[in-house]
Chain A
Amino acid sequence: MTESNSGAGHVVPVWEISPLRIWVLAQGTFVQLVRMKVFYFLLIFVALVLVIAGAGLFWLPTEHLLALKRWSFGAMYLFTMVYSIAATALLLPRDVEDRTLYTILSKPVPRIEYLLGRLVGVLILNGIALAAMFLAMSLLVTWKMPAVEQQLVEQLLHGASGEAVAQSEVNQAKAEAARYGVNGSLLWAVWALYLKASVVSAVTLFISTFASSSLFTIVTAAMVVFIGHFHQLVLDFWKLNEAAGWFGSLVARLLVIVFPNLGLFDIVDEVITGTPLGIAAGMQLTGMGLFYVALFVLLAQLVFVDKEL
């Protein structure tokens, strides 16, 4: 029987966990975050980014589309990372400080439901924001696509210096143009970004259960995120430099084991330049993301269940 702890180290059977209560807490969290002014400022910033990217500061439609996608994903990355860390870091410490946590936990609410409710609220916000930004980007890209196709075909004709151009080559140019558009791999890229943001939220939630303040949580979470990008670097470097010594390799291994591998989810670069992501790889990434979220929620619960309020 899988059990989870409620307050005071006591156990609540899984079937007593109420999805409805988690949903109530998630809704409350979502509304709380949306009503924070910082959310509006961030939205304005993102809109500005999209406007700049859509304004055509670049010479060629192909360059423009690449820049648009890069800036859009950059804005999505910024929004989700900032929100995943800052918003999650504010929740628990503020509830403890304001004692709103007492009022909630004095109701028949197991601590695991409180944690899940807060986390799900942040994940819903991230999901909606990402979906909106992706939709805006896709509309802009689709709007610009005819110009890209025209540019590539004209380049082909210009390069032919007035000679006849085979239809197969025109088709090749159009296929090249399609690479610049919206495709299934871009959806995977957004999904990977969302998975990464979810993992970062879960890590931040875990840190907030033992942190002394929101600031400590934010700084520590940012460091974990920073370190989490160096798994591959550490592994590759260690492989190439096996003579680094036992201490070095021990540190490398510990780093890789303890910190989440966030670099795995960084597929945006390659997707933007046209590398497709297969369904199998996408599902594996999803599994990895869910594993990390579950792990850090479990760790948060292990700390929070015994936390003296």
Chain B
Amino acid sequence: MKRPMVIRGPRLIALVLLISGLVRAPIESKLLADLRSGGFHPELRGSSAVQEAGVQVMMGALGGLRYMVSTFLTLRANYHWEFQNWDKVLEEYRIIQLLEPRNPDAWITGAWHCHSNAWAWYSQDDRLHSPAVRKILAREWVERGKEMLLEGIKWNPDNPWIYRDLANVYRERDRDLCQAAEYYRLASLTPGAPDFLHRIYGYLLAECGEHDEQAMQVLRQIYDEGLQVLRQQHVLIWKPSLIVEMRKLEERLGVPAAQRIPERFDSEGFVIATPLLPQESLPVYERLLARDQGGTPKDPALPGIISKLRAELTKKSGR
């Protein structure tokens, strides 16, 4: 005979499920909070909760298979690229981004197709449209690329390369060096970002011309850090571009000579060939000037610096 029990069958099952659910709910909440603080399972951000819900549904449904699906879609996108079907390339990448929103490459590569490949094609293919229309269409694709990168940043706020790519779009397509500098700054602030991102931020800030003092602070800090390394480890980590940009800023800001960085550094018995000797720095400045030719020279101080260097070299060679 059966052992008598008050509750049996489906009611018992339901009761056990309910009790276990109530017991585990707070434990799971804590575990979820711990995982989220460690960078796992990001929350819905709320700005486009419905869209993100859709993404989560797709991710949940496909699970681990979505990588395979997105790989096939990548191959398809490459096929469309060969035939310059930019709309289809964009379509494929939008799905890839839905499947793998936390894969930075999905955003970077998709955006690259927009702001570089599609832009170049529309800009240069004279079989299509009038020049004016081509310019408009090319511009549209650049904007699409930027939107994509901005969306990618929402899903991957700690990835420096999306910021870097966005900065490069501003620099190369929009020629907006200040905005580019800002995105390089954000890139440099992401966890584990390489040092050169901060350096390039400084260069772009210097080149954009609107934040000279701030740029000087940034570059001076990098210079001072290099000085420390030089003195302690006898290793030179300054880049020539650092010195070049600092020179230009010193000119523009009218920094007194005594406070400028020396042309040649000689301290505590170490003879250092760099910062650049005049014969080394002159070609660099001339290259910078040549780059600006064909358009309005960006840096009015350049011709002056070049003249001084040439004069100095002439003097030396004359001795």
Contacts and interface: CB of A to CB of B under 8 A. Distances in A.
A288 B27 contact: yes
A71 B67 contact: yes
A259 to B, nearest CB: 9
A101 interface: no
B28 A261 contact: yes
A230 B57 contact: yes
A281 B31 CA distance: 7
B120 interface: no
Contacts of B34: 280-281, 284
B13 A302 contact: yes
A256 interface: yes
Contacts of A76: 64
Given A78-B65, A237-B53, A288 B41 contact: no
A66 B60 CA distance: 21
Contact of B196 (A159, A288, A302): A159
- Which size bracket describes the interface of A in this complex? 35 or more
Contacts of A232: 32, 41, 43, 56
Nearest to B274: A164
27 contacts: A67-B67, A74-B65, A74-B66, A76-B64, A77-B64, A77-B65, A81-B64, A163-B241, A229-B63, A230-B56, A231-B28, A233-B57, A236-B43, A236-B44, A237-B44, A257-B18, A257-B25, A258-B18, A267-B35, A268-B64, A270-B40, A275-B38, A281-B35, A299-B13, A302-B12, A303-B13, A306-B9
Contacts of A8: 2
B261 to A, nearest CB: 18
Contact of B39 (A57, A81, A275): A275
Interface in A6-54: 8-11, 49
Given A166-B235, A169-B196, A256 B64 contact: no
B301 to A, nearest CB: 22
A74 B139 CA distance: 38
B236 interface: yes
B40 A71 contact: no
Interface string B1-28: 0110000110011001110111011011
B286 interface: no
Given A233-B56, A237-B53, A306-B8, 5 more contacts: A77-B64, A240-B46, A270-B39, A281-B31, A302-B16
A71 B68 contact: yes
A216 interface: no
A256 B29 CA distance: 11
Nearest to A229: B60
A264 B237 CA distance: 45
Nearest to A225: B63
B131 interface: no
B195 interface: yes
B173 interface: no
A229 B58 CA distance: 10
B61 interface: yes
A215 to B, nearest CB: 20
B53 to A, nearest CB: 6
A230 B55 CA distance: 11
